[in-house]
Amino acid sequence: MEKGKMLVFVVLTLLFCSLCDSSRLMKNVESQNRRNLLANGLGLTPPMGWNSWNHYHENINETIIRKAANVLVSSGLSELGYIYVNIDDGWGEMTRDIDGNLVPDKKHFPSGIKALADYVHKKGLKLGIYADAGYYTCAKRMPGSLGYEEQDAKTFASWGVDYLKYDNCNNGGIKPLQRYPIMTRALMKAGRPIYFSLCEWGDMHPALWGFPVGNSWRTSDDIDDNWERMVSRIDRNDVYADFAKPGGWNDPDMLEVGNGKMKKHEYVVHFSLWAISKAPLLIGCDLGKMDDDTLEILSNAEVIAVNQDPLGVQAKRVWAGPLSEYRVAVLLLNKFSDRRSEITAEWEDIGLDPSTVVQARDLWEHETLERQFVGKMTVTVEPHSCKMYVLKPIA
């Protein structure tokens, strides 16, 4: 068995026991899967857009959301594929209305969510919203959707919502497999295709059961705006690489690029790792205050093209993965903080025949290297930095 397969095998075996109390439920999920539990046709490539959480947390209002939509368009980011404008926790009143419906916060969202959806749709964008598979959301400022799945899914559809992030707080100790598929079915009945983002923090290894349930699934708890936390999110996510495919992606959490606590070269690593890992590319900074470096990183069309490649194969450590047209994306990462390193990609480790001659395109320098490579490629990489290439076999 090759190393990657062996790792997956070991993980699966280890997980078996932690999942056995859910095995009956998993069978349920499987039998529903035969009728395609989640057949919404969405997420054929990883979703791209913006989400309010990483910068604003629950302190949001409709002005912030509208402004984010405006800047996505005016900055040119929407044309590069960033089309989801996602409202996270904090958009609702603490109590449901007399009919049990969720109510937008009257002070901070006085125009309501439908008006926001209409607003972003007119700009050619899509609107995302947030709910929780529990009794209250994580910020505890609004009710959760547990027990109200069908009603809330219908509400979201009636507002014109296109994306639902479904969190995992205050869940009464009920296992994710007893909560998330109920919302999947509710969304399927709601009459509008809604991208379904499972956010159970990797708790019950959702990569193993997520494909018929959601369009993506978080593989760990939250990211933070620092190097260690960022790199450890993608390392955990890497374990499940074999489970990612068009329609269902591993989600190492949203981007911190532009939030200010990492260096530019560290944000380049962050964005490159997320792109090559086919992670959702959800910007998490204040778009109105983006500096030139932030916009340059988020706008790198060559790196975005790796993320959005139709083959949809997640790259693995040593951080390489196949692209369409027999090309290979490779990312050479120097994790040392204090010294530059020579890093080598051996063709055998990145899925190329050792005799293959390739042309290398540097995705951050935007240049095709004059030298051709065969068998391996060695480059010098600065501390906490990376080089990212697309290798194209030449005849």
Ligand X SMILES: *[C@@H]1O[C@H](CO)[C@@H](O)[C@H](O)[C@H]1NC(C)=O
Alpha helices in the chain (DSSP H): 3-19, 23-34, 53-56, 62-74, 112-122, 149-159, 180-189, 227-238, 264-276, 292-298, 301-307
Q: Which is nearer to ligand X, 62 or 256 (CB)?
A: 62
Q: Work out whether 64 is an interface residue with ligand X (CB under 6 A).
A: yes
Q: Which is nearer to ligand X, 142 or 381 (CB)?
A: 142
Distances (CA, A) of 389 to 142, 348, 366, 367, 368: 45, 16, 10, 10, 9
Q: Tell me how many degrees the CA angle 160-165-166 measures, rounded to the nearest 5.
A: 115
Query: Is 167 a residue of the active site?
Result: yes
Say how many residues make up the chain: 395
Select from 61-69, 79-87, 231-239, 244-252 the region that touches ligand X (CB under 6 A): 61-69
106-165: contacts with ligand X (CB under 6 A): 108
Q: Work out whether 316 is an interface residue with ligand X (CB under 6 A).
A: no
Select from 22-30, 59-67, 165-173, 298-306 the region that touches ligand X (CB under 6 A): 59-67
| DSSP β-ladder status, 48-51 and 84-86 | parallel
Q: How far is CA 274 from the centre of its chain?
A: 8
Of all residues in the shown chain, the one whose CB is closest to ligand X is 61
Neighbours of 98 (CB within 10 A): 6
* Closest separation in Å from C-beta 44 to ligand X: 35
Q: Work out whether 8 is an interface residue with ligand X (CB under 6 A).
A: no
Q: Which is nearer to ligand X, 288 or 354 (CB)?
A: 288
**CA-CA distance, 131 to 165, in Å (whole number)?**
6
Q: Work out whether 55 is an interface residue with ligand X (CB under 6 A).
A: no
Helix 112-122 with 62-74: angle, nearest 10 deg: 10
Q: Are 357 and 394 in contact (CB under 8 A)?
A: yes
Select from 23, 63, 372, 378 the one that contacts ligand X (CB under 6 A).
63
Q: Work out whether 61 is an interface residue with ligand X (CB under 6 A).
A: yes
Given the residues 222, 224, 242, 349, select the one marked as catalytic: 222
Select from 58-66, 148-156, 261-269, 322-330 the region that touches ligand X (CB under 6 A): 58-66
Tell me the β-bridge partners of 336.
none
**CA-CA distance, 163 to 84, in Å (whole number)?**
8
Q: Which is nearer to ligand X, 108 or 154 (CB)?
A: 108
Query: Is 88 a residue of the active site?
Result: no
Select from 57-65, 83-91, 206-214, 225-233 the region that touches ligand X (CB under 6 A): 57-65
Q: Which is nearer to ligand X, 93 or 302 (CB)?
A: 93
Q: Which is nearer to ligand X, 42 or 115 (CB)?
A: 115
Q: Are 200 and 176 in contact (CB under 8 A)?
A: yes
Of 233, 214, 237, residue with least CA distance to 223: 233
Q: Which residues are within 8 A (CB) of 172 and not within 5 positions of it... i.e. 6 or more apart?
A: 134, 135, 146
Q: Which is nearer to ligand X, 60 or 190 (CB)?
A: 60
Select from 13-21, 36-44, 56-64, 122-130 the region that touches ligand X (CB under 6 A): 56-64
Of 48, 61, 124, residue with least CA distance to 284: 48
Given the residues 89, 105, 152, 167, select the one marked as catalytic: 167
The site for ligand X (CB under 6 A) is made up of 61, 63-64, 108
Please give the positions annotated as active site.
167, 222
